[in-house]
């Protein structure tokens, strides 16, 4: 644990001593805020239109902030995370390779898994900071109306698990190259592939459709956004993260022979 903590602190200092973390957090909050504004204004206009017509009084009672604001916002944040996570993780290993410090790191009395976990947890911490700051939008929603606790909790849990999965892939691609831009593009390409797999399921049949749906990142997030906590979806993201970290460790081990 001491070695993991040392790597973690080193990476956190590196993140916040450069503009990277601040810039990504700012972009994340601006984009999430824009999507929140659009969703909230659309919901408010719809409520006003329904309220002005007595014939639709029953529909007004059925309108839900969770369905009309929180759920679309969660999906839009997933898109923002898809774009930003590769930029967050691109420097974790590629910079070590470029600066020539990777050999020193690998020959230190620290195991490969400790290196992987230390860097992964550091990037996860930065992502968690993003999520904490974005909770201000949730506070605005709650101040203007009643919202169920279930969808709020599951949506944030789903976003956290999605972020973990994305970070594991970003960590892996960062070990493959010395070029940070290449690492970011590779990470984005892999994540985008898993993002669009669900689209193929809609045009496929039988086992192929089931396989594509089971591998799709977005399909597994759907239940979280509805306030449903399904263990199969939790296990999907945990397994995705484990495989990503395992591949990171394997790639890191092979780096020793490429140096």
Which tens digit of pLDDT belongs to each residue from 102-137? 777 777 788 889 989 999 999 999 999 998 888 887
Selected residue with higher pLDDT from 193 and 139: 193
Q: Which structural domain range is residue 72 located in? A: 2-258
* Residue from 77, 80, 95, 79 nearest 183 by CA: 95
pLDDT of residue 214: 77
pLDDT of residue 254: 82
Strand (E) or helix (H) holding 206: helix 206-215
Number of structural domains (the chain) is 1
The rounded distance, in Å, linking the Cα atoms of 71 and 147 is 12
Lowest mean pLDDT of 50-54, 142-146, 180-184, 214-218, name the range.
50-54
The rounded distance, in Å, linking the Cα atoms of 217 and 197 is 8
pLDDT of residue 110: 83
* Residue from 115, 92, 101 nearest 250 by CA: 115
Strand (E) or helix (H) holding 181: helix 180-202
Q: How far is CA 17 from CA 12, 21, 29, 239, in A?
A: 8, 9, 20, 32
Using 50, 70 and 90 to split pLDDT, how confident is the model at 182? very high
Mean per-residue pLDDT, 59-82: 77
Question: What is the pTM (predicted TM-score) of this model?
Answer: 0.89
Largest CA distance in the chain: 74
Q: How many CB atoms lie within 10 A of CB 97?
A: 21
pLDDT reading at 90 higher than 80: yes
Using 50, 70 and 90 to split pLDDT, how confident is the model at 208? confident
Using 50, 70 and 90 to split pLDDT, how confident is the model at 161? very high
């Amino acid at each position: 644990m001491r070695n993991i903590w040392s790597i973690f602190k080193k990476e956190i200092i590196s993140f916040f001593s450069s503009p990277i973390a601040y810039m990504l957090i700012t972009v994340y909050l601006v984009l999430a805020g824009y999507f929140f504004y659009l969703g909230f204004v659309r919901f408010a206009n719809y409520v006003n239109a329904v309220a002005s017509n007595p014939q639709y009084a029953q529909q007004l009672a059925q309108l839900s902030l969770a369905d009309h604001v929180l759920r679309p916002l969660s999906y839009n944040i997933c898109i923002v995370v898809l774009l930003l996570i590769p930029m967050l993780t691109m420097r974790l290993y590629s910079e070590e390779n470029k600066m020539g410090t990777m050999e020193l790191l690998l020959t230190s009395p620290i195991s490969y898994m400790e290196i992987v976990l230390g860097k992964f947890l550091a990037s996860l911490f930065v992502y968690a900071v993003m999520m904490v700051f974005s909770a201000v939008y949730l506070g605005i929603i709650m101040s203007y109306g009643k919202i169920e606790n279930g969808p709020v909790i599951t949506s944030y849990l789903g976003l956290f698990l999605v972020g973990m999965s994305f970070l594991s892939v970003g960590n892996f691609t960062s070990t493959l190259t010395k070029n940070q831009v290449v690492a970011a593009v590779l990470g984005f390409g892999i994540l985008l592939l898993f993002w669009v797999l669900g689209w193929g399921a809609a045009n496929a049949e039988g086992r192929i459709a089931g396989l594509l749906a089971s591998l799709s990142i977005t399909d597994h997030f759907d239940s979280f956004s509805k306030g449903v906590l399904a263990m199969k979806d939790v296990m999907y993201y945990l397994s995705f993260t484990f495989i990503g970290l395992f591949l990171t460790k394997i790639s890191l081990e092979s780096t020793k022979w490429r140096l």
